[in-house]
A and B are shown apart, each in its own frame.
Chain A
Amino acid sequence: MIGKEKKSTIAGFLAPAVISLALIGIAPLLYALYTSLHYFNLTNLRALRFIGLENYQDVLTDSVFWTAIGRTFVLLMTALPIQIALGLGIALVLHQPGLTLLKTLTRLGLVLPMATTYAVVGLLGQVMFNQSFGVVNQLIGFVGIDPVNWIGDSTNAFIMIVFWDIWQWTPFVTLVLLAGLTTVPGEVEEAAKLETKNWWTVLRYVQLPFLMPGLVAVLILRTADTLKLFDMVFTLTRGGPGSATEFIALMIQRVGFRGFDQGLASAQAIILLIITIVLSQLYIRFFYKEV
Chain B
Amino acid sequence: MSNRAPGSERSLTAQVIIMLVILLFCVFPFYWMVTTSLKTQLVALESPPVWVFSPTLDNYREALFEDGVLQTLLNSIIIAVSTTILAVVLGLPAAYALARFEFRGKKDLWFWFITNRMVSPIVLALPFFLIARNLGMLDKHITLILIYLTFNLPIVIWICTDQFRSIPKDLDEAAKLEGASQFRIFSQICLPLAMPGVAVSSIFSFIFSWNELMFALVLTRNAARTAPAMAVSFMEGYNLPYGKIMATSTLIVIPVLIFALLASRQLVRGLTMGAVK
B126 touches A1 (CB 8 A): no
Question: Hey, which chain A residues are within 8 Å of B228, CB to CB?
Answer: 117, 119-120, 231
- Is A110 at the interface (CB under 8 A from chain B)? yes
Given A2-B172, A107-B264, A262-B130: A217 and B122 within 8 A (CB)? no
When C-beta atoms are compared, the residue in chain B nearest to A32 turns out to be B127
**Closest beta carbon of chain B to A74's beta carbon, Å:** 18
User: Of A17, A106, A109, which is within 8 A of B91 by CB?
Assistant: A17
Q: How far is the CA of A266 from the CA of B123 in the complex (A)?
A: 7
Name A1-20 residues within 8 Å CB distance of B. 1-5, 7, 9-10, 12-14, 16-18, 20
- Is B277 at the interface (CB under 8 A from chain A)? yes
- Is B60 at the interface (CB under 8 A from chain A)? no
Given A13-B97, A133-B46, A172-B268: A273 and B149 within 8 A (CB)? no
Given A109-B26, A270-B123, A272-B123: A21 and B261 within 8 A (CB)? no
Q: How far is the CA of A117 from the CA of B245 in the complex (A)?
A: 14
Given A13-B97, A230-B213, A235-B235: A111 and B16 within 8 A (CB)? no
A99 touches B19 (CB 8 A): yes
Question: Hey, which chain A residues are within 8 Å of B16, CB to CB?
Answer: 99, 102
Q: Quick check: which of B62-70, B105-113, B193-201 contacts chain A, the rest being far away?
A: B105-113
Tally of contacts, chain A with chain B, CB under 8 A: 295
- Is A241 at the interface (CB under 8 A from chain B)? no
Given A98-B12, A124-B32: A20 and B272 within 8 A (CB)? no
B252 touches A117 (CB 8 A): yes
User: Of A5, A17, A134, which is within 8 A of B157 by CB?
Assistant: A17
Q: Quick check: which of A54-62, A153-161, A201-209, A221-229 contacts chain B, the rest being far away?
A: A221-229
Q: How far is the CA of A118 from the CA of B213 in the complex (A)?
A: 8
Name A112-167 residues within 8 Å CB distance of B. 112-121, 123-124, 126-128, 132-135, 137-138, 141, 167
Given A24-B146, A93-B19, A273-B120: A133 and B213 within 8 A (CB)? no
Question: Hey, which chain A residues are within 8 Å of B240, CB to CB?
Answer: 126
User: Of B26, B94, B242, which is within 8 A of A13 by CB?
Assistant: B94
B218 touches A257 (CB 8 A): yes
B46 touches A128 (CB 8 A): no
Question: Hey, which chain A residues are within 8 Å of B96, CB to CB?
Answer: 13
Name B44-74 residues within 8 Å CB distance of A. 44-49
Given A114-B260, A179-B276, A253-B125: A16 and B93 within 8 A (CB)? yes
Question: Hey, which chain A residues are within 8 Å of B46, CB to CB?
Answer: 133
Hey, what's the 0/1 contact readout for A16-53 against B, CB within 8 Å counting as 1?
Answer: 11101100110111011001000000000000000000
Hey, what's the 0/1 contact readout for A63-98 against B, CB within 8 Å counting as 1?
Answer: 000000000000000000000000000100110101
- Is B180 at the interface (CB under 8 A from chain A)? no
Name B168-198 residues within 8 Å CB distance of A. 169, 172-173, 176, 182-183, 186
B264 touches A124 (CB 8 A): no
B120 touches A16 (CB 8 A): no
- Is B90 at the interface (CB under 8 A from chain A)? yes
**Closest beta carbon of chain B to A63's beta carbon, Å:** 20
The size class of the interface chain A forms with chain B is 35 or more
Question: Hey, which chain A residues are within 8 Å of B207, CB to CB?
Answer: 115
A284 touches B268 (CB 8 A): no
When C-beta atoms are compared, the residue in chain B nearest to A287 turns out to be B275
Question: Hey, which chain B residues are within 8 Å of A20, CB to CB?
Answer: 90, 149, 153
Question: Hey, which chain A residues are within 8 Å of B210, CB to CB?
Answer: 117
Q: Which residues of A line the B interface, CB within 8 A?
A: 1-5, 7, 9-10, 12-14, 16-18, 20-21, 24-25, 27-29, 31-32, 35, 90, 93-94, 96, 98-99, 102-103, 105-121, 123-124, 126-128, 132-135, 137-138, 141, 167, 171-172, 175-176, 179-180, 183, 213-214, 216-218, 221, 224, 227-228, 230-231, 234-235, 248-249, 252-253, 256-257, 262, 265-266, 269-270, 272-273, 276-277, 280, 284, 287-288, 291
Q: 28 A-B residue contacts at CB 8 Å?
A: A7-B103, A12-B183, A13-B97, A17-B157, A21-B113, A24-B150, A25-B150, A29-B124, A32-B126, A98-B12, A99-B12, A102-B16, A102-B20, A103-B19, A115-B260, A116-B256, A123-B231, A124-B32, A135-B32, A135-B49, A175-B268, A179-B276, A221-B271, A235-B232, A253-B214, A262-B130, A277-B118, A287-B275
